[in-house]
Amino acid sequence: MDALEARLTEAGPLLQQVRRAIATTLVGQEPVVEQVLWAMLAGGHVLLEGPPGLGKTLLVRTLSAVLGLKSSRIQFTPDLMPSDVTGSQTLALDASGRFGGQLELQRGPVFTELLLADEINRATPKTQSALLEAMQERAVTLAGTRHALPPLFFVLATQNPIEMEGTYPLPEAQLDRFLLKVTVPFPGEDELVAILERTTGPAQATSDTSATGAQVLALQALCRDIAVAEPVYRYAARLVAASHPDSATASPLVRRALRYGAGVRAAQALILAAKACAVIESRPHLAFADLQRVAAPVLRHRLVRSFEGEAEGLTVAAVIAELLEQVPTRPARVEQELARA
């Protein structure tokens, strides 16, 4: 058997095992878990958006436990300083217990493998920038020295869409650093009952470790090996291009509803997230359907609505749906032949 085939064969059960382990603690939210796994396999970061109390923190804790990763959490507040995130140098005590004039590096919570940045929009832009720089560079510079973050550095940031008072919404350029923006929906009735049963009893279930950090890194490598045909690349490019209001291929709705379209990072994110999809399905190649599945979480935080779009109540979700409907996957001549079949 081919090595790629073997790796795909092994990846399938492993990911199934991870999902089952998460499900023992986190009830429901399968789409959220799925999308978080896409981002983790693609090596990107996730912006979770949803009201408080929907298990975002629990998801991070469970993920850390299941994957055996070191995790930390930062509760973002307006008075949070960048050094509170990245760390700082402090005077070190000598052997006699006095400050000897030596500086000691105090690593911040960012030096971890799985970081939960809770309510990231409550911190000032300066602090947000410190985290976002670390996310992009996967390194932190303290006192002129660059410190690399762990290879499996994965950020799950949350923001509350309801309470906007005293918040600092993330600028579009910084939102672009997140691979996906995952919307956490309110659980259904059955899921809510299951949550109540598990959380109000004498003991809470815990998830066992199902994978290691090395295996996650191997899955990330496998994700990069997924084959992508040129028509699939073209489809991703057409999708992104059509999201620009100034583009010739933009639909009237896009022209009316959007001020800015998605950028190059969006196209990269589309392909990477779609590859993660293919890995989860143990498929060695990318399909148009993979791109269509990941389009919403990849694009929803990258499309900037225009004043007209906001006034008319045109949602980004509607624009993405329009893009998927209008942008053809195959050349016109192939579509014509398919119509004749």
Partner 1 sequence: MVAMPRVSATPDAQLETFREGFFSRFEALRARLRRRQLATTGLDAALLALVAGATGLALVELHASTPLRLAALGTAGVGACAYGVWTARRRRLTAVDAALYFDAQSDSGELLVSVLELETSATASSALPRRADQLLGKLERQPRLPKLWWKRHLTLAPLLALTLWLATRPLPPPGAHAAAQQARISAAGLKLDTLKRLSNLPAHDAEQAKRLRRLADAARQLEQQLQRGMERREAQHALASLSDGLREEHLELSSRDERQGREAAMAELEKSEATRALAKALGDGDLIELDQAMQQLSQRWEQESRKQALQALTAAEKAAREHGAARVADALGEQRRRTAALDALMDGLRAELGDKLPEALNPTPGSKGAADGAKLSEALSKAIEGLSPEQRRRLAKRLGEQLTAPGSNPGEASPRELAKMLEQLERPGGAKALGEQLRRFADSPSAQREKRLREAERELRQAERQLGLLPVPGPAAPGGGPGRDGRDGTPGSGSPGSGGGGGPKASGSSSPPLAANELRSRAPAAFDPRFPEADVSRGQAPATPGVQSQRPVQAPRGAKGNPGSLSGADDHSVPEEYRDQVGRYFAP
One of 147, 255, 259, 283 touching partner 1 (CB under 8 A) = 283
Residues in 199-218 that interact with partner 1 by CB under 8 A: 211-212, 214-215, 217-218
Which of 79, 101, 230, 307 forms a contact with partner 1 (CB under 8 A)?
Answer: 230
Q: How far is the CB of 213 from partner 1 (least distance, A)?
A: 10
CB of 239 to partner 1, least distance (A): 15
Task: Work out how close the CB of 337 gets to partner 1 at its nearest, in angstroms, rounded to a whole number.
Answer: 5
Binding positions for partner 1, 285-304, rule CB under 8 A = 285-290
| 328 scored as a contact of partner 1 (CB under 8 A) | no
Does the protein bind partner 1 through residue 231 (CB under 8 A)? yes
Q: Is 68 in the site for partner 1 (CB under 8 A)?
A: no
239 interacts with partner 1 by CB under 8 A: no
Which of 98, 101, 313, 333 touches partner 1 (CB under 8 A)? Answer: 333
Q: Quick one: which segment of 5-13, 35-43, 79-87, 157-165 binds partner 1 (CB under 8 A)?
A: 5-13
Nearer to partner 1, 5 or 197 (CB): 5
Nearer CB in complex with partner 1: 126/285: 285
3-state secondary structure the chain: CCHHHHHHHHHHHHHHHHHHHHHHHCCCCHHHHHHHHHHHHHCCCEEEECCCCCCHHHHHHHHHHHHCCCEEEEECCCCCCHHHHHEEEEEEECCCCCEEEEEEEEECCCCCCEEEEECHHHCCHHHHHHHHHHHHHCEEEECCEEEECCCCCEEEEEECCCCCCCCCCCCHHHHCCCCEEEECCCCCHHHHHHHHHHHCCCCCCCCCCCCCHHHHHHHHHHHHCCECCHHHHHHHHHHHHHCCCCCCCCCHHHHHHEEECCCHHHHHHHHHHHHHHHHHCCCCECCHHHHHHHHHHHHCCCCEECHHHHHCCCCHHHHHHHHHHHCCCCCHHHHHHHHHC
Q: Interface with partner 1 includes 232 (CB under 8 A)?
A: yes
Count of residues that interact with partner 1, criterion CB under 8 A: 41
Nearer to partner 1 by Cβ, of 263 and 284: the residue is 284
Handedness of CA 139, 266, 277, 60 (dihedral sign): positive
Check residue 225 for interaction with partner 1 (CB under 8 A).
yes
Does 16 participate in binding partner 1 (rule CB under 8 A)? no
In the complex, which residues of this chain contact partner 1 (CB under 8 A)?
Answer: 2-8, 10, 14, 211-212, 214-215, 217-218, 221-222, 225, 227-232, 283-290, 330-331, 333-334, 336-338, 340-341
